[in-house]
Structure 1
C-alpha cells in the first residue's frame, strides 16, 4: 500500500513539474532588452511622487512600469531618454493607458516634487517623477542596483552634477522586474518589450 502511494505521489509530482515546464515555455516573452526576470530588482522602491505622496511599487500594481533614474538638470542623457520614453508611449497608442513611466531623481537636493513634476510632464502628462530624502534614494537605488554619484564642479554648493546609470527598467503588472534596456534604446524597442508584458 505504501509502495502504491509512493508511486502515485512520484507520478503526480512529475506531472505537475511537466505542466509547469510546459506553461513556462509557452509564456516566454521575446524581449529585445535583457531578461531580468527573477532578480526582484526594485522591490524596495519607497519614494515621494511629484505631488508629495509617498509611493511604493504596490501603488502601481496593475500597470507595466518603466523606471528611469535621472535628474532635471541633466544636460543631455536624461532629456534624450525621456524623449524616447515619450515616443514609446505614442507608439503604444491606446495601450499607453496601461503603462506608467517613473523617473526617479538622483538629485533630491534640487529636484523638489514641484520641479520634478514640471520636468517630467513636459515630456508626457502621464509621467510621474519620484524624489525623496537621500536615505530613500539610497535604498531605492540599491534595490535597483542603480549607480549614482555627486560630482562637484566648482566651489559653490550648487556647482555639481550627478553621475548616474541610464537604463530603463521594465516591471510587469505585478511589480516584478522583467526587462533591462539601455537608456539609448530606440522607442520601438521599449514599446515592443512593454507590449510583451501587457
Structure 2
C-alpha cells in the first residue's frame, strides 16, 4: 500500500470517527437532561382538598405543575399560586391536559377544607394535598424538597421550604423546574415545552 493510499484510508477512518462523535453529541444535547426515572418521587397515600384519598398515581398520565408550600406562608406561596393561576389563564386551551398540585409542608395545620379554601382564592385548577405528616414526609423526601419548621417569637412557627415549581411529565418524572418569580415568558415557555413532551 502506497503512502497516498495509507493517507486516504486514515483520512476516511478519522472522518467516520469524528462524524460519529458529532452525531452522538448532538443527540446528547437534544435529550432532556432531567429524566432519571425513579430518581424523584415516592409512593404516598394522602388526602386532596375535597377530602378524597390521593396517591402518587395522580401525577401520571398527564403533565403536572407540583409545588410544596403551606397556607400560613406570608408571601412566597401566595405569590407562586398567583403566578400559577396566571399561567393557566395565559395558556388557555393549551393547558387543558395540565394539572397542578399544591402539597402542604405543614399538614398539621393545613386540613383539606383549609387547603380547598386557600387554593380556591387563586384558581380552581390547583388541587391542594395534605394528610398524615408521615406520609407527607415521604412525598417531601421523594421529591427532594427542603422543608423545616422554624419557631417564631410568638410561640408559633413558620416553615422554610423549597420555592420552585416542579415540572412533572406524564410518566411522573421530574422534567425541570420554574424558579420563584422567574420571568413569565421563560416560565410559560418551560410549560409549553413540558406540554409538547407529553
Give the shorter-chain TM-score range.
Answer: 0.7 to 0.9
Alignment CA distance shift 1:124-1:134 (3 Å): same
Moved over 6 A (4+): none
- Seen in structure 2, the aligned counterparts of structure 1 residues 186 and 43 have a Cα distance that, compared at 3 Å, is farther
* Displacement of 1:190: 2.6
Aligned length: 172
SS at match of 1:185: coil
Larger-Rg structure: 2
- CA drift of 1:76 comes to 0.6
Counterpart Cα distance in 2 of 1:45 and 1:27: 33
1:36 is aligned, of 23, 29, 34, to 34
- Give me the TM-score of the superposition, normalised by structure 1: 0.78
Q: Is the 8 A contact 1:85 1:190 kept in 2?
A: no
RMSD over aligned Cα, in angstroms? Answer: 2.4
Match of residue 178 from structure 1? 175
**In the alignment, what sits opposite 1:196?**
193
Deviation at 1:26, TM superposition (A): 9.2
Q: Using the TM superposition, name which of 159-168 and 184-193 deviates more.
A: 184-193
Distance between the aligned counterparts of 1:149 and 1:141, measured in 2? Answer: 11
Q: Is this contact kept in 2: 1:89–1:191, CA < 8 A? A: no
Kept in 1, the 8 Å contact 2:85–2:125? The answer is no
Q: Distance in 2 between the 1:140 and 1:46 partners?
A: 9
1:61 match: 60
Residue of structure 1 in register with 2:110 after alignment: 111
Shift of the alpha carbon at 1:47? 2.3
- What is the match of residue 3 of structure 2? none
Q: TM-score, normalised by structure 2?
A: 0.78
What are the Cα deviations for residues 82-140 of structure 1, in whole angstroms up to 9, with x where unaligned? Answer: 11111111121102211111110011111000000111121111210001111011111
